[in-house]
Amino acid sequence: QSVLTQPPSVSGAPGQRVTISCTGSNSNIGAGYDVHWYQQLPGTGPKLLIFGNFNRPSGVPDRFSGSKSGTSASLAITGLQAEDEAFYYCQSYDSSLPGSKVFGGGTKLTVL
């Protein structure tokens, strides 16, 4: 069972907007630690998608955006494209597990 909770799956048609939630607690997201998001395309390793709650690395389209409030965070994807079909993971730090990084269980995005 993951420390951070994500929905197992979301779906949307091309061009639509979808959001993926990430729910934590007062020892991780709620304690003010940053949330990061990773995209994992089929058969590949993870790639940093959003860092520091809402920042995009160079090369990531502005269709991807992140937000955080209280003990939760969200990833929004607008203008869905077929190439966005992938697994998405949120990640943060948890003060009850010194030195460790905690991940969400992952969300499979299906583009219909």
Q: Residues in the site for another protein, rule: CB under 8 A? A: 2, 33-34, 36, 38, 45-48, 51-52, 57, 87, 89, 91-93, 98-106
Closest distance to another protein from the beta carbon of 36 (Å)? 4
- Judged by CB, which is closer to another protein: 8, or 83? 8
Q: What does each C-alpha distance from 79 to 3, 68, 83 come to in angstroms?
A: 30, 21, 11
- Judged by CB, which is closer to another protein: 89, or 109? 89
d(CA 18, CA 70): 21
Least Cα distance to 78 among 58, 67, 91, 63 occurs for 63
- Judged by CB, which is closer to another protein: 62, or 99? 99
